């Protein structure tokens, strides 16, 4: 073999070896831990040659004795589960209840004199929500004081982590009836998986295991919205280069809403109307935690010379159709309370539009777009967050990257076709499980009212549209 040819082969082999080494390293760095159940409550974790096995403690209980109620309403079996009576304080969520937390067998109701009352004769309660009420023919009178004892299960999120010395460790989270949070880690620790302990089951299931994708594993506080949002973008880049629609991408406002963009860049006043349902009204959080206030402050920082003015028009429990169907003179008439304001920019949020299919979205939202153009207002649609799994047709809070709701499919299609910017909150919520967060733990009412972290995700999805 000629010497020149030999040198060429050696050079090619060396280059190939270097490429294979680089590929192996990059693949290794993208590894996520392998997590599986090896017993009723035992979890095995394998990560880069390290193996750990951990016994997960069962959920704990909140025991309540003689909770005092000065009066109870008559039990209404036909109402929503949380509205059938008074929700017991131990299982109370903001404006709702923690479903399944109450142990029905533990409920004991007494009069002040110690006389024990009978379920089905004197009182009744909803076992899923813990809403309790008196029965009109029973011994518990309209103004009678009742003492109620019961117990309810606490949920918890434990983290299995890799310590700086290479050993694995189990860090137990704080037990809470509502909205447990993963523990905050110390510097140098890497979160490998979260285990969600909830309900009264003695046996863990795969739906309790939330392996942390490598992209999110260095977040010491998994409720840091800025770190999470940045890592979602990184995750999308590293997993097949997920293509973001232009209407949801960086620069969408500059491209599609030139009037609003020019006002911001020129230092003018920009009046923004946040229009929506209870998530926008947000009576369940302090004012400064509402998504529109967070976003308004963020936008002001992005464009310091402009004057950002945020207005709010919202109606809890209602949809965009509710506004549009209200008669003239109504406190929530669409033309008088939305269009008449003539803002520069309308940002609409209606998770309650979830009953709409794609064809309905195209028709109804098309009509609104025409209305907004008529008054000279730009429009951004704020995509809905995830809500109670069964309301979305989901059976778990993991493996939920893709939002299954026809509303979301319809909104994305509508925005692409009409070049209306779409703040893609659903994509952010769909990635929460990959960072170890069961998304329902963000809901203050255990259904659909996001907490402060959840509101940050709205703000982040909107801010992305205004970046250059």
pLDDT in tens, the chain (468 residues): 444 333 333 333 333 322 222 222 233 334 689 999 999 999 999 999 899 999 999 999 999 999 999 999 999 999 999 999 999 999 999 889 999 999 999 999 999 999 999 999 999 999 999 999 999 999 999 999 999 999 999 999 999 999 999 999 999 999 999 999 999 999 999 999 999 998 767 789 999 999 999 999 988 888 888 889 889 988 888 876 556 789 999 999 999 999 999 999 999 999 999 999 999 999 999 999 999 999 999 999 999 999 999 999 999 999 999 999 999 999 999 999 999 999 999 999 999 999 999 999 999 999 999 999 999 999 999 999 999 999 999 999 999 999 999 999 999 999 999 999 999 999 999 999 999 999 999 999 999 999 999 999 999 999 999 998
Q: Are residues 374 and 292 in the same domain?
A: yes
**DSSP H helical ranges for 92-248:** 225-238
Give the pairing type, strands 345-349 and 269-276: parallel
CB 255 within 8 A of CB 467: no
Question: Distance between CA atoms of 294 and 286, rounded to whole angstroms?
Answer: 11
Q: What is the pLDDT of residue 259?
A: 98
Backbone angle region of 145, left / alpha / beta, with phi > 0 → left and psi within -120 to 50 → alpha: beta
- Residue that the structure tokens 């703000």 belong to: 459
Q: Are residues 203 and 235 in the same domain?
A: no
Q: Are residues 252 and 324 in the same domain?
A: yes
Q: Are residues 259 and 288 in the same domain?
A: yes
Question: Distance between CA atoms of 268 and 273, rounded to whole angstroms?
Answer: 16
Question: Degrees (nearest 5) of the Cα angle 152, 156, 162?
Answer: 165
Q: Are residues 97 and 137 in the same domain?
A: yes
Q: Are residues 317 and 375 in the same domain?
A: yes
Among residues 171, 195, 220, which one ends one of the domains?
220
- Residue (of 156, 147, 158, 145) closest to 178 by Cα position: 156
Structure tokens at 142: 């309209």
Count of structural domains within the chain: 3
CB 424 within 8 A of CB 248: yes
In this structure, is residue 443 part of a structural domain? yes
Q: Are residues 202 and 295 in the same domain?
A: no
Sign of CA dihedral 281, 284, 287, 288: negative
In this structure, is residue 391 part of a structural domain? yes
Among residues 110, 127, 153, which one ends one of the domains?
153
Backbone angle region of 264, left / alpha / beta, with phi > 0 → left and psi within -120 to 50 → alpha: alpha
CB 82 within 8 A of CB 96: yes
Structure tokens at 280: 């926008």
Q: Are residues 173 and 127 in the same domain?
A: no
Give the pairing type, strands 131-134 and 86-87: antiparallel
Q: Are residues 245 and 353 in the same domain?
A: yes
In this structure, is residue 17 part of a structural domain? no
In this structure, is residue 7 part of a structural domain? no
In this structure, is residue 213 part of a structural domain? yes
Q: Are residues 244 and 190 in the same domain?
A: no
In this structure, is residue 11 part of a structural domain? no
Q: Are residues 37 and 81 in the same domain?
A: no
Among residues 135, 153, 171, which one ends one of the domains?
153
Q: What is the pLDDT of residue 298?
A: 97
> Length of the chain in residues, anyone?
468
Range of the domain at 130: 62-153
- How many alpha carbons lie under 13 Å from residue 402 in its C-beta half-sphere? 4
**CATH number of domain containing 393:** 3.40.50.1110
Full-model pTM:
0.88
């Amino acid at each position: 073999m000629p010497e020149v040819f030999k040198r060429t082969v050696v050079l090619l082999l060396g280059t190939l070896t270097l490429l294979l080494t680089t590929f192996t390293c990059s693949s290794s760095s993208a590894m996520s831990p392998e997590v599986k159940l090896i017993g009723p409550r035992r979890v095995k974790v394998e990560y880069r040659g390290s193996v750990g096995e951990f016994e997960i403690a069962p959920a704990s209980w909140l025991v309540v004795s003689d909770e005092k109620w000065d009066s109870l309403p008559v039990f209404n079996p036909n109402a929503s589960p949380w509205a059938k009576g008074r929700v017991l304080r131990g299982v109370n969520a903001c404006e709702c209840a923690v479903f399944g937390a109450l142990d029905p067998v533990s409920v004991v109701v007494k009069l002040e004199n110690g006389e024990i009352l009978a379920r089905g004769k004197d009182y009744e309660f909803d076992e899923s929500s813990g809403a309790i009420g008196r029965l009109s023919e029973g011994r518990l009178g309209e103004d009678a004081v009742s003492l109620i004892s019961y117990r309810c299960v606490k949920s918890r999120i434990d983290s299995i982590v890799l310590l700086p010395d290479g050993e694995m460790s189990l860090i137990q989270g704080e037990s809470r009836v509502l909205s447990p949070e993963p523990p905050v880690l110390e510097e140098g620790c890497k979160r490998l998986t979260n285990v969600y302990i909830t309900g009264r089951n003695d046996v863990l299931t795969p739906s309790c295991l939330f392996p942390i994708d490598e992209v999110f594993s260095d977040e010491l506080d998994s409720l840091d919205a800025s770190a999470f949002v940045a890592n979602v973008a990184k995750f999308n880049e590293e997993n097949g280069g997920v293509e973001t629609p232009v209407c949801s991408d960086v620069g969408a406002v500059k491209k599609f809403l030139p009037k609003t963009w020019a006002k911001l860049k020129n230092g003018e006043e920009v009046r923004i109307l946040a229009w929506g349902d209870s998530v926008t009204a947000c009576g369940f959080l302090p004012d400064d935690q509402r998504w529109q206030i967070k976003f308004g402050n963020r936008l002001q920082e992005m464009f310091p010379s402009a004057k950002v003015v945020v207005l709010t028009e919202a109606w809890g429990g209602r949809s965009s159709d509710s506004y549009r169907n209200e008669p003239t003179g109504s406190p929530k008439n669409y033309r008088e309370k939305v269009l008449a304001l003539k803002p520069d920019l309308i940002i609409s949020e209606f998770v309650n539009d979830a009953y709409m299919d794609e064809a309905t979205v195209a028709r109804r939202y098309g009509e609104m777009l025409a209305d907004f153009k008529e008054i000279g207002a730009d429009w951004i649609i704020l995509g809905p967050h995830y809500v109670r799994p069964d309301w979305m047709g989901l059976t778990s809070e993991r493996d939920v990257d893709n939002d299954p709701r026809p509303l979301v499919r319809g909104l994305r299609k509508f925005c692409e076709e009409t070049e209306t910017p779409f703040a893609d909150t659903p994509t952010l919520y769909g990635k929460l499980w990959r960072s170890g967060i069961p998304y329902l733990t963000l809901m203050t009412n255990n259904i659909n009212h996001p907490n402060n972290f959840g509101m940050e995700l709205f703000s982040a999805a909107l801010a992305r549209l205004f970046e250059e």
